[in-house]
Amino acid sequence: MRMRWVLTFKDSGAAKARLVIIGFTDPDLLDLHTQAPTMTRRTRQLLLSLAATKGWTVLKADAKTAFLQGQASQLDREVFARPVPELAEALHLKHDQAVRLRKACYGLVNAPREWYLDVDRTLKSIGLERLVTEPCAWRLRSAATGKSVGVITSHVDDFLITGDEQSPDWLKVVRAFYDAYKWTPWEVNTFGHCGVDVTQGLNRGFVLSQADYVNNIDQIELTPERRVETSASITEAERSEMRAVLGAVQWKVYQTGPQHSAQLSLLQSSITLATVQTLLDVNKLVREVHSYKHLTLKIHPLCLPDEDELLFVCWTDAALANRPDLSSTGGFVVGLTAKKLLDGQSQQVNLISWKSGKLPRKAKSSLGAEVQAMSEGEQELMFCRLQFAEMTGETVDLRDYWKAVNSIPGVIVIDAKACYDAVHKGLSAHASGLGLKDKHGALELMTLMECLEAGRTLVRWVHSEAQLADALTKAAAKEMMLRVLEQGEWTIVHDPQMVSAKNRRKLQKPTFESEYRLPEHQDASVLFTAEFVQKWTTRFTEQMKLW
């Protein structure tokens, strides 16, 4: 196989040169195992929430030339490479001599997997257990209590390390892991991870920002003449650029920008039939992302007297047939908070997972769409509960994983009254097919109800203007998500009469503006509404002109 130099230049001015094998020419290409897991966003958010709640410090570790530190895993197959002139000279090789590869070096398709397996062996050898729910996370449990005293996660060669610094066993493990590899200096308090700038404050909470990343997202360039051709189909070159821009925005949305999820998802569905107007909409989204680039995602230290006071909440919502092919959009957001949220008290919420996307099946009614969205949300809620339980020390038995799930309570919040009524009546109180015309939806709802019962998951109803997941299905509904990102708090107000948002306005009942005020310690007369945003933006613009 051939090899070549890859030169990398960083913003700081530092430069790096690395020899890389042209891996696609590997003679065993089709027979090699190449799957290598990477840490998910869910795992990162759960890890940071665990650290913040327990008051642990998070360390960031980056292994130097990681793939070259692994074992000599390629000796069981004869793999050779043609050295570049600089390497041949350094090894005093003749012009026609090749080199044999001992390790899975950079460029080989199985290199990430071999590195992962080496890390897994190392962490297990020093006493850690790999999680069942996350192959890129390992925990250390106390022999006395069975609770976790530390967790290590990996994303290829980047590691997040957190644990109880008062535990001698944990300190011993950290030292052993440090001695196992060569590292760049470990970072604390402020570090970058997967394109996200992470800062841990004195209160042990975290702030996640991507302002620098957003600065590199550019709009699609259009001439003035092209801009007015709004109904014209785009060219293949424009379509390619559109995909690239939306892909860049997607990374921001996936990591720290849930408020843009719905708009991004709808635009991605328009790529194949895009017009110039679609390109203008993409540029509008890019401008919005830039305008909110300094809005951060926060992980709060949920300072509770007992871990049993923790609660996972999932808000789910759906928008019927709002896509070009009449498919529906579903969305959910899962947060970790305190049980007092269910009592109507405003509580800090750590966003763990969110999604906006096309529902798998076209819905005949809004109920059918809501059931699909609720089903997806329930599955994510279940898995968040399961993984966090395992991360904190619970044993996960795949034959009866509900036991671990039920160790942490969960609740689903919906705004579909018909769906809420069907769930609370129970399976035994319904007619055949739950009495629904949509039999596919009925079957899915029946399955969902069984899962809710097995997980002891509560279901709460709120009107649509109090539905946090509304921002994940409708492009214009950002206010509530922005409030959570700004203030970090939310509340669920119980309405025994279950009056919809539309009827609440008719009856002059309190709606979002009056029920969901800012926390009491702030100015309660300032409401985060569209009117407030417009007023604040105007004042800010005027002030900028003065500056």
* Residue 526: per-residue pLDDT: 39
* Residue 304: per-residue pLDDT: 74
* Residue 545: per-residue pLDDT: 47
* Residue 394: per-residue pLDDT: 96
* Residue 544: per-residue pLDDT: 47
What angle separates helix 366-391 from helix 41-54, to the nearest 10 degrees? 50
C-alpha 367/C-alpha 370 separation (Å) is: 5
In the CATH hierarchy, which top-level class contains the domain 308-516? Answer: alpha beta
C-alpha 458/C-alpha 371 separation (Å) is: 16
Q: Cβ contacts of residue 483 below 8 Å, gap of 6+?
A: 490, 516, 518, 528
* Residue 475: per-residue pLDDT: 81
Residues forming a β-bridge with 164: none
User: Are residues 80 and 98 in contact, defined by beta-carbon separation less than 8 angstroms?
Assistant: yes
Q: What is the enclosing helix (H) or strand (E) of 188?
A: strand 187-188
Tokens of 534: 């417009």
What SS3 class is residue 129?
Answer: strand
Residues forming a β-bridge with 458: 411
Average pLDDT across each block of 10 residues of the chain; the chain has 547 residues. List them in order.
93 88 94 93 98 96 94 92 94 92 95 96 97 98 95 97 96 98 96 95 94 95 94 96 97 96 95 96 97 96 82 96 93 96 92 97 92 97 98 95 96 93 76 81 92 95 90 88 93 66 58 47 42 52 47
C-alpha 384/C-alpha 188 separation (Å) is: 26
As a whole number of Å, the CA-based R_g of the chain is 26
Cα–Cα nearest to 71, from 120, 118, 113:
118
Q: For Cα atoms 531, 370, 379, give the angle at the middle one, nearest 5 degrees.
A: 110
DSSP H stretches of helix in 62-135: 85-90, 111-125
User: Are residues 158 and 60 in contact, defined by beta-carbon separation less than 8 angstroms?
Assistant: yes
Length of the chain: 547
Cα–Cα nearest to 446, from 381, 536, 375:
375
Cα–Cα nearest to 104, from 156, 177, 62:
156
Cα–Cα nearest to 259, from 331, 360, 337, 336:
331
pTM exceeds 0.75, yes or no:
yes
Cα–Cα nearest to 169, from 144, 193, 188, 186:
144
Tokens of 527: 């409401």
Q: What Cα–Cα distance (Å) separates residue 354 from each residue in 39, 230, 330, 473, 481? A: 16, 32, 11, 11, 11
Tokens of 183: 């590292």
C-alpha 502/C-alpha 6 separation (Å) is: 60
* Residue 98: per-residue pLDDT: 95
Up-side HSE of residue 381: CA atoms within 13 Å toward CB? 33
DSSP H stretches of helix in 165-232: 168-180, 211-214, 224-227
Backbone CA torsion sign across 21, 25, 30, 31: negative
Kindly tell me the number of DSSP H helices and DSSP E strands found in the chain: 17, 21
Q: What Cα–Cα distance (Å) separates residue 408 from each residue in 12, 384, 394, 456? A: 45, 10, 10, 10
Q: Could you tell me the residue ranges of all domains in the chain?
A: 3-209, 211-291, 308-516, 518-547
Phi, psi of 306 (to 5 degrees): -145, 140
User: Are residues 356 and 343 in contact, defined by beta-carbon separation less than 8 angstroms?
Assistant: no
Q: Cβ contacts of residue 274 below 8 Å, gap of 6+?
A: 233, 234, 238, 239, 242
Q: What Cα–Cα distance (Å) separates residue 114 from each residue in 29, 78, 157? A: 15, 16, 12
Tokens of 79: 């793999």
Q: What is the enclosing helix (H) or strand (E) of 151?
A: strand 148-155
Cα–Cα nearest to 269, from 250, 251, 288, 284:
250
Cα–Cα nearest to 420, from 490, 361, 496:
496
